[in-house]
Amino acid sequence: DAGVIQSPRHEVTEMGQEVTLRCKPISGHDYLFWYRQTMMRGLELLIYFNNNVPIDDSGMPEDRFSAKMPNASFSTLKIQPSEPRDSAVYFCASRVAGAGAHNEQFFGPGTRLTVL
């Protein structure tokens, strides 16, 4: 089975441009998570979805960030306009429903974003 798929793997853009990151979760997984990782702040949860519905977006830094999940197999994270401080690795993760060990999340390879 394919794991979580993310694209692009690397993105270099200029300040002010729109950036769209894409994620395909593992088939059958009910939850999808978007994280941002930097050296300074570690792994931060931005938003998560359950059955395509956004549940908690309290980690989204500001209105420049938005996320959608139009169906069970696709999600996007958009930054508009991008700023240099948005430079980070963005991970998507998914998991099945349930508690306990079901909380295990499976991570995609990440998108390394550089905003110049």
H-helix segments, the chain: none
Q: How far is CA 110 from CA 35, 97, 100, 101, in A?
A: 9, 23, 25, 23
Residue 61 C-beta: closest distance to another protein, Å: 17
Query: Between residue 17 and residue 76, which ones bind another protein under the rule CB under 8 A?
Result: 31, 33, 42-43, 45, 48, 50, 55-56
- 15 Rama class: left (phi>0) / alpha (psi -120 to 50) / beta: beta
- The neighbouring-strand residues paired with 34 are 47, 92
Stretch that binds another protein, among 14-22, 61-69, 78-86, 105-113 (CB under 8 A): 105-113
Size of the site for another protein (CB under 8 A): 21
With CB under 8 A as the contact rule, the residue among 34, 65, 90, 91 that binds another protein is 91
Residue 116 binds to another protein (criterion: CB under 8 A): no
Strand 19-24's sheet: what is its strand order? Answer: 5-7, 19-24, 74-79, 65-71
Q: Does 109 bind another protein (CB under 8 A)?
A: yes
* Residue ranges that bind another protein, judged by CB under 8 A: 31, 33, 42-43, 45, 48, 50, 55-56, 91, 99-101, 103-110
